[in-house]
Amino acid sequence: MPHWRWILRELLSRIWFRAAMIAFLSVLLALSAAALAPIMPYDLSIKIGAKATDNILTILASSMLAVTTFSLTAMVTAFSGAAQLGTPRATELLIEDKTAQNALSIFLGGFLFAIVGVIALSTGLYGEQGRAILLIGTILMIAWIAVTLLRWIGRLAYFGRLGDTIARVERKSRDQLEAYPGARIFSGRAAIAMPPDAIAVPAEGAGYIAHVDRQSLAGLATEAGVELVLCAPPGQFVRKGSPLAWSRPPATGLDHEKVRARFTVHRSRDLDQDPRFGMVVLSEIASRALSPAVNDPGSAIAVLVSAQRVLERFLDAPSAPAPYPGLLDHPLSLEEMVEDLVLPIARDGAHLVEVGIQLQKLLGGLAETFPGAAGAMARLASDARGRAMDALSAKTDRERLDRAHGAAFPSEVLRAGPSVS
């Protein structure tokens, strides 16, 4: 995605921008009634009878102020609940919710429309024809508010709940995984060795890569007659001097400033363009559910099921094999993604046999879906099984876990031999 489009999308996703735009349009609508007055036939304006416009606008202004305040309170409560029950990293997805943003923006716009209309009426800005047009605009505004309010009431039934948060992270992770333009590998570390004579473009400061303008980087590489190798994908932490990209063959004429400008560095990591971070966020939600204060293994199991749906889309790559000629993208490793998800859950849920069984099912299912990753999934399954065996005190629980491991990885169990004592 080009940098300007990413900036525009970031701007459009901000609630203040949407609220400001709708508020501006509402004020414009209220004032445009005076300008549109000549198109309204005088006889029709008399028949409409717009004398009650003042009272309607007064009622609308007072009610919309209360509804706006209520909606803002509900949103803040939902954000706080998502941060406490899930993880603070998931609240950004709630903030970007279009229904919530539209509700708050339209309610604020309705309030401003009514206030501006009342002020304009008190100054005598509208004649009979203008008052009739304002009445029509008020009716349309009320209908718009009513539809938005109904949608907002329906959304409030589950907005910010833990299940809603998990589903949002799942959708975002799946979308970023499917859109990732780089190569996919099943096991091992996702890295391309940089030769000693390579000329790397260093980062200027510490932070997380938030966005990479791959299209522009490919254009710079083509102009310089080289191939750029990306070594700092979105989500990667870099410090001052860390390599962002390097060229092969080494190119002394490559403009490092232009290359560096195609990387956006933020203080914190986010889900945009970063499929691995989705697994990190899901694991944080599960770890919170497994904490002694919450003790909710069912939510942790729901996270694992949700993550499995995402990971099963690992090979849903873009149709073009090389979407950015001249740029060799950083590969994405299935093993690393599964590690980000499984290791924290295996640590925090080792004492719960139901969580251990679900982990074995997930890893066994991935091994069956992606035979190339079977070895890596078996190693992770053995690690999770070993942690659980040390934490489970009941022999029956250990036997259940062994059976689940045997069903997921029968050949490995035969090699390892029995472990239940």
The whole-angstrom separation of Cα 392 and Cα 287 is 18
- Residue 230 β-bridge partners: 245
Residue 415: predicted pLDDT: 47
The whole-angstrom separation of Cα 376 and Cα 334 is 9
Residue 20: predicted pLDDT: 86
Q: Per-residue pLDDT averaged across 26-37, rounded?
A: 74
CA nearest to 59, candidates 118, 146, 6: 118
Q: Which two tokens stand for residue 94?
A: 């709630």
Q: Per-residue pLDDT averaged across 318-324, rounded?
A: 60
Query: Mind listing the pLDDT tens digit for each residue in 51-81?
Result: 667 788 888 888 888 888 888 888 888 888 8
Say if CB 200 and CB 242 are below 8 A apart.
no
pLDDT band at 419 (very low <50, low <70, confident <90, very high): very low
Question: Of the ranges 37-51, 245-259, 325-339, 348-362, which one carries the lowest mean pLDDT score?
Answer: 37-51
- According to CATH, the topology of domain 183-266 is Aldehyde Oxidoreductase; domain 3 (3.90.1170)
Question: Of the ranges 14-28, 91-105, 345-359, which one carries the lowest mean pLDDT score?
Answer: 14-28
Query: Residue 168 pLDDT > 70, yes or no?
Result: yes
Q: Which H or E run includes 413?
A: helix 410-416
Say if CB 399 and CB 418 are below 8 A apart.
no
First to last CA, the chain: 56
Query: Residue 195 pLDDT > 90, yes or no?
Result: no
Domain residue limits, the chain? 3-160, 183-266, 275-318+332-416
Say if CB 335 and CB 373 are below 8 A apart.
yes
Question: Of the ranges 41-55, 107-121, 159-173, which one carries the lowest mean pLDDT score?
Answer: 41-55
DSSP-assigned states of every residue in 280-346: HHHHHHHHHHHSTTT--HHHHHHHHHHHHHHHTTTT---SSS-SSTTEEPPPEEHHHHHHHHHHHHH
Residue 413: predicted pLDDT: 47
Residue 1: predicted pLDDT: 62
